[in-house]
Amino acid sequence: MVKRYWDEMNFPQPTDRELKENAKATAKKAAKKGKELHPVVITGRQITKSWWGNAWCSNLERYADFDNRLPRGKRYVKTGAVIDLEITKGKILARVQGTRKTPYKVEIRISPLSEQQIQTITDKCGKKVDNLSKLVSGDFPEELKEVFIGHGGLFPSPKEISFNCSCPDWALMCKHVAAVLYGVGARLDEDPLLFFTLRGIDTNRFVDVVIANRTEMMLANVNKPSKRILSDTSLSDIFGVI
Ligand SMILES: [Zn+2]
């Protein structure tokens, strides 16, 4: 990564107060127009708390072409500069407040996983029924770490991600893009299933696998002496995950 001393001189950084004021003005304007914004709100000192959220934030370093954009992005997201953020399949759309009044438009594209990659991830997650049940309920067991950060996992490799921002910065990952990526971390922290949305994996597929596995287990028990297991188990126990 490169550091240019004149970079700091050419672009004075807006203060937290300026960012907050601009964000407030934009929110007011949007409200007047009846437009709904989805801002990223960081309440604690840390942007993320979960292991997967933290792993996402450390993973961002792989995408940065200038190392000073990351701490700036971190400050921006904490200040509330990411005034709108939406995560859909393969795409993150956001608006980030900066020095000027009009927020910058950020678009991040992430390639969807191939069918084969999806199958591998589903298999890895589905090795234990417990894993999948937890996953479906949004509590990702740490033993699934490899599914996220491993090769061909849910975290995109630098080749699988591209950035676009309307600001004049020449860096591929400008501070606005960095702020959005940290904002994505905060969203994923709350709802890890968004990882699957982002990579184009239908989470219903996991629910199906959990149900199939459970039913299989129940049926396997039918032939054992304790036949009561099926009759005593209500359907909601079998399909407890949905
Ligand atoms: Zn930018």
Q: What is the pTM of this model?
A: 0.81
For 42-63, the pLDDT digits (tens) are: 998 999 999 999 999 999 988 9
Q: Nearest CA to 235 among 223, 218, 220, 222?
A: 218
Q: Is the pLDDT of residue 80 over 70?
A: yes
CB of 133 closer than 8 Å to CB of 242: no
- For ligand 1, the distance from its centroid to the CA atom of residue 198, given in whole angstroms, is 22
pLDDT of residue 23: 95
Q: Report domain extents, the chain.
A: 5-113+154-202
Q: How far is the CA of 153 from the centre of ligand 1 (A)?
A: 27
pLDDT value, residue 131:
65
User: Tokens 């184009």 — which residue?
Assistant: 200
Greatest mean pLDDT among 121-130, 140-149, 203-212 lies in: 140-149
The encoded tokens of residue 89 equal 């399949």
**What are the pLDDT digits (tens) for 188-220?**
998 888 888 899 888 777 677 667 766 776 677
What does each C-alpha distance from 109 to 51, 131, 162, 191, 199 come to in angstroms?
24, 29, 5, 19, 10
CA of 78 to the centre of ligand 1 (A): 16
HSE-up (13 A, CA, CB side) for residue 99? 9
Instruction: Decide: residue 25, CB within 10 A, 0-12 exposed, 13-18 middle, 19+ buried.
Output: middle
Q: How far is the CA of 154 from the centre of ligand 1 (A)?
A: 25
Q: How far is the CA of 12 from the centre of ligand 1 (A)?
A: 14
Fill in the DSSP letter of residue 3: -
CA of 188 to the centre of ligand 1 (A): 22
CA 72 to ligand 1 centroid distance, Å: 11
- Please tell me the distance between residue 93's alpha carbon and the centre of ligand 1 in angstroms: 13
Query: What sign does the CA torsion over 109, 83, 180, 44 have?
Result: negative
Rounded to the nearest whole angstrom, what is the distance from the C-alpha of residue 114 to the centroid of ligand 1? Answer: 30
Asked if residue 7 has pLDDT above 70, the reply is no
pLDDT per residue over 14-36, tens digit each?
Answer: 999 999 999 999 999 999 999 99
